[in-house]
Every structure is written in C-alpha cells, then in structure tokens.
Amino acid sequence: MPEGPGPARTTSARSWGSAGLAAMIASAAATLEAAGIASPRFDAEELASYAVGVARSRLWSVPAVDEEAVARFDAAVARRASREPLQHIVGTAAFRHVEVGVGPGVFVPRPETEVVAGWAIERAREIGSGAVVVDLCTGSAAIALAVANEVPDCVVHAVELSEDALVCARRNTAGTRVQLHAGDARRALPELDGGVDVVVSNPPYIPPDGLIRDPEVADHDPPIALWGLGADGLEVLRGVAARAQVLLRPGGWLVVEHADVQGTAVLELLRRQGGWEQVRDHQDLLGRDRFGTARKAPQIAGPRPGRHHSEREGNP
C-alpha cells in the first residue's frame, strides 16, 4: 500500500513568502504577549529582521526566506519568550542616533537614559569646540558614543570598572573618538582634574531592599551595574559626584541618573556635599524624576561642607 502523508512540516522546515512572513510574525507576537513581553509586535519584527539579516524597515520587501532563517527566527522567539533581553538576542541596542553592541554581562542601555545623554550633549554644545566630556560608569559606552556622535568637535573620555563591560565597550568604541579607560569611576582620570566641562553618569543606584520585577533585568543585567551600595543605594552615586567635583573646571556641569524615587535624596546629597550651585532634578519623557544636574561653583577645588540652593526642573 502506498504510504500516507508524512507528518506535518514544522515552522522551521518551510520558507516564508510575504504572506507567510506576516503570519509567522503575528504568531510570534502572540507567543511573546502570552509570555508577558511589553512590546510583542515590535519584538517579533525585530527578531524577524535579525533572522533574515535585514533592517526592520526593509523586512516587508523580502520576497522569501529560507529554512535556515525560519529556524533562526523560531529559536530567537523561544529565547525572547523565556525573557532573555531582546538586545542580547540580536546583539545590539539602539541609543539615540547610535547602535551599540551588547550581550551577557553588559547592562542594556535604557530609553530613559537617552534624556540624560541629551542634557549632557546640550551642555557640551553650549561650551563649543574642544569641550571635554567624561562618562563615568560607561558600561557599553552608549552615552559616550552618543556624545561623540552628536558633538563632533568635543573630547570624550569613558570609564568602566567591569571587565565584561570593558570588552564590549572596547568593541563599540574601536575606531571612534571615545577614549576608553579601565578603572573605578570614583578615582578615575586624575590627569584631567580641573579641566573637564561635563561629567555624565548612569551609575548603579538600586538600594539593597529594592525590588526588580522584570526578569530581563533581574536575570540578565550584571549586578555591578544595578546595585548602588549603601543603605540607600546611592553610595556609588556619592562617589561619582565627589569625583566629578574634582574633575570639573569651575562652572562645569554634572549630570547623573537616578531611580524615579530618588530625586529628593539626590538633591539633598548634592546640597550636603557642597561646592555645587544650580542643583536641580529633571524628569524623563514619562514624567518621572530621572536625573540630577549641578554646576560646580566658582573657586571650589573639591568637595567641602556647605549649603547651596536646590530646586526641581528649570533651565540650567
């Protein structure tokens, strides 16, 4: 007797045309939504772009996709459904106008940090040609690369302690104007003392009793990039602010990210540290307290006790 039809072919054993591609992305988006992914359709399209090897904007112009790409897409969707970060799967993260490589052991840059970088970029542009910008706790070097990209006539230094992050940052900064340094942000670059125009930092700031809800963060972001040390999680930030005050010239700017519940504490921290003026807090695009800024007061060589005016928001 002739054999009956064989088993149904799996997703990884067939090719996509445009209609099949749309169906596969819709199915993947449903899978990701069921897994609790906040942006399932976007992630499904990004994973399809990764599997096919084209930009997402060109995805729908691909006439057909071979079985190898289908299998790669299936595997990528399964990884994302397990809550592995999208950026780790595709290997890159978009940040302002640059794309940076990321992976295991490297903090994934967040959209809210783009606003922090933007504030530093504005100050560097105001200073003009030759402005010196230092990015402390640079991680993947996303902020430093954004500054170098958007302020092409400035000098950019970036400092990182984690060896895993340094491996990634070295790849990202190769062939760019960013000067990368290995070291502790709290003691970095003594050769630049008193000559820096802007210090920008996204330091670790989660307190020891902080709750991390997203598996992408809890299971994949490196602890050194999350936990800020000290009872309030601000010990690293304190050290960054103290180091920034020595690095900066009088009138130079500090820009530092914090958690959305730490705005008042960061203002008070800078006020108590002394040596700062125009101490303010700013919100991100969702209206949450996100970063503090301060200007080094004239004739201040380093941290000393003092009292300075502080306020929320407003122009520099």
Per-residue pLDDT averaged across 39-43, rounded? 97
Least confident of 52-66, 95-109, 178-192, 283-297: 52-66
pLDDT digits (tens, 9 = 90+) for 295-314: 999 874 445 443 344 444 44
- Site of tokens 């295991």: 104
pLDDT exceeds cutoff 50 at 13: no
Residue 18's pLDDT band, with cuts at 50, 70 and 90, is: low
Residue with tokens 């840059």: 109
CA dist 316 to 119, 146, 173, 278, Å? 10, 21, 30, 7
User: Which contacts qualify for 182-186: CB closer than 8 Å, 24 or more apart?
Assistant: 183/159, 184/159, 185/136, 185/137, 185/159, 185/161, 185/236, 185/239, 185/240, 185/243, 186/236, 186/239, 186/240, 186/242, 186/243
Considering only CA atoms, give the Rg of the chain. 23
**Rounded average pLDDT over 89-101:** 96
**CB of 196 closer than 8 Å to CB of 252:** yes
Contact 154, 133 (CB under 8 A): yes
Residue range(s) of every CATH 3.40.50.150 domain in the chain:
104-312
Q: What pLDDT score was predicted for residue 208? A: 85
Q: Which residues contact 139 (CB under 8 A, 6 or more apart)?
A: 106, 107, 109, 160, 162, 165, 168, 169, 202, 225
pLDDT of residue 228: 83
In the chain, the percentage of residues whose pLDDT exceeds 90 is 71
Confidence of residue 17 (pLDDT cuts 50, 70, 90): low
**What are 248-270's pLDDT values in tens digits?**
999 999 999 999 999 999 999 99
The C-alpha angle with vertex 212 and arms to 206 and 217, in degrees rounded to 5, equals 95
The whole-number average pLDDT for the span 67-82 is 94
Tell me the whole-structure pTM to 2 decimals. 0.85
The mean pLDDT of 219-242, rounded to a whole number, is 89
Region 75-99: mean pLDDT is: 96
Q: Is the pLDDT of residue 213 over 70?
A: yes
CB 276 within 8 A of CB 270: yes
Tell me the pLDDT band of 209, cut-offs 50, 70 and 90: confident
Second CATH level (architecture) for the domain 104-312 = 3-Layer(aba) Sandwich (3.40)
Collapsing DSSP to helix, strand or coil, 182 comes out as strand
pLDDT at position 49 is 94
